[in-house]
Amino acid sequence: MRVSNIGGFHSQPDVFERERRETRALAALAERACARAWEENDAKTTFVKSMMGRGDPAKVSTSWINVCERAGDGHGLHNHANAVWSGVYYASAGDRGDDDDDVDEPGDLLLRVSAGGVDPMADTSTGYCTYTCIKPKRGRLVVFPSWVLHGVLASPGGAPRVSFAFNTGETGVKF
């Protein structure tokens, strides 16, 4: 499929629905993580809840596989505004080793953490959007609110980076 991906492979959005033992276990892990995120962030009583989907925040509604292996493969900035949580599980990080978490590199997951104007770390007005990057590491599971703009910096190429991505809380999803 061609969605937000720039090159690479993007499967149909029903990977966890295919009833394989491995994907059932991964779906259960994702749902436990999303349920915990929901409970710990008390999203039910915050402004953020009004920007999230209306379905079950702990039930995976769509899931797909992404593979980036050629130089330049990545994902443009996008969000999943009709969902509650989005997440990614890295089955393979490609050629990544023990990269420095403080340096943004090709293949990183990019999250926009502010709309601009304020640098939350410096408590000053900058006029620029603030981003954070998360390193793909085999076995790493990342969960974030679905309305957050996110993407993947262009891959350096080499060994494939394989990830399972998912959303929770979408309603009216049909495959």
Structural domains of the chain sorted by starting position, each given as residue range(s) with its CATH number in brackets: 5-95+137-147+155-168 (2.60.120.620)
One-letter-per-residue 3-state SS of 36-50: HHHHHHCHHHCHHHH
Q: What is the pLDDT along the chain (175 residues), one digit of tens a residue?
A: 778 888 888 999 999 988 788 899 999 999 999 999 888 876 556 556 666 778 899 999 999 999 998 999 989 999 998 899 999 999 998 876 555 666 778 889 999 887 666 555 665 656 677 788 999 999 999 999 998 999 998 888 888 999 999 999 998 887 6
How far, in whole angstroms, is CA 100 from its chain's centroid?
Answer: 20
Alpha helices for the chain (secondary structure H)? 21-41
CA–CA dist 105, 74 (Å, integer): 12
**167 and 58 in contact (C-beta within 8 Å)?**
no
* pTM for this model (two decimals): 0.84
What are the structure tokens assigned to 152, written together?
Answer: 């993947």
